[in-house]
Structure 1
């Protein structure tokens, strides 16, 4: 459908841009991420290398966005992007922690922009392209099987009754 062919690349463009920024210049985001990485490193043993994590997230953003934009496995790609934007928004757009009114306003704007993008990728993650979901198809298949089994049982009873009647008539 034309709408999906336009909407998916448009939605993916944000993640490609952000992913490229993360891969090319990880220092900008690594500074904000450092306290979280340090805490995670202490608890889990993950290496305390914020720049590497920022680059990894950037690569995942680019890969997920490319898959979404091209329409290859768009639902899992959108789910991946949704899982990346939530933590990123929490780290980079924490307007509630800002005291400077101008920075607070800018971060608040970024927070709500990312919330809107998160809504878009969630919709993309559940979009079945107008086809029924796998769950619905399974339920319909099970219902059709039940109906078929009932019809077959009814036909078998009819045949058995007819056979019994014919056998009884031959014996008398």
Structure 2
């Protein structure tokens, strides 16, 4: 946190100073920007503001406002993108080293161009800096993983419940089967007892008949 509070003002200082300087010397900056405007705006002058002085003032205002926002930490990522968008045309218009014929001037312009390229690198880092918070990509992946875990957890819970239900159903079937077998065994036992009693009564009846026959035969011999 302390590093960001120090680094952001250092990175923004050159843009704020450059914007103030551009407002003070807008005619000179407009003259330097005119060749680039002629190449880029060209025939679209009726659609876009083509007055070099106006564009220099707009660019300076963006540098000062976005630089101040970056300094105080207000929307630092957005302000870094704004500064980066302002830096690119300024660098191309202000330091076209490829057009210089003099070797010394060419080297000077190349050095300034590379300095601005270094600033662009710093702005790119600042534009993606989340201030220690998870990035959007990480949050998206984390949310997807969390949803996946929840789906897996619910699927596992449903499977466990289904397994428990199947276990209960199997236990109920087993109990019912056992109860049916026990009832069948009891019925068979009762039927066996009844059959035994019937056989016993039959034997007693036969014995009684035989006893009666013998008694009758004995009585007949006596007479």
TM-score computed with the length of structure 2 as normaliser:
0.72
Structure of greater relative contact order (alpha carbons < 8 Å, 6+ residues apart): 1
Change over 3 Å in CA distance of 1:86–1:47 after alignment to 2: closer
Deviation for aligned residue 1:118: 1.1
Name which one, 1 or 2, has greater alpha-carbon Rg. 2
Number of matched residues? Answer: 172
CA contact (8 A) 1:27 1:51 kept: yes
Specify the SS of the correspondent of 2:81.
Answer: helix
User: Which runs of no fewer than 5 residues in structure 1 stay unpaired?
Assistant: none
Deviation for aligned residue 1:8: 0.2
In 2: Cα distance, 1:84 partner to 1:137 partner? 30
TM-score computed with the length of structure 1 as normaliser:
0.91
After superposition, residues 16-95 of structure 1 pair within 5 angstroms as 16-39=16-39, 40-43=41-44, 45=46, 46-95=48-97
The residue number in structure 2 matching 1:105 is 107
Specify the SS of the correspondent of 1:131.
Answer: coil
Moved more, 55-64 or 147-156: 147-156
Deviation for aligned residue 1:98: 1.2
User: Which runs of no fewer than 5 residues in structure 2 stay unpaired?
Assistant: 177-223
CA contact (8 A) 2:35 2:93 kept: no
Change over 3 Å in CA distance of 1:167–1:25 after alignment to 2: same
RMSD: 1.7
In 2: Cα distance, 1:67 partner to 1:47 partner? 26
Change over 3 Å in CA distance of 1:47–1:79 after alignment to 2: closer
Deviation for aligned residue 1:38: 3.4
The residue number in structure 1 matching 2:128 is 126
The residue number in structure 1 matching 2:137 is 135
Specify the SS of the correspondent of 2:101.
Answer: coil
CA contact (8 A) 2:69 2:79 kept: yes
CA contact (8 A) 2:8 2:70 kept: yes
CA contact (8 A) 1:41 1:47 kept: no
Change over 3 Å in CA distance of 1:162–1:47 after alignment to 2: closer
CA contact (8 A) 1:37 1:48 kept: yes
Moved more, 114-123 or 128-137: 128-137
In 2: Cα distance, 1:116 partner to 1:5 partner? 20
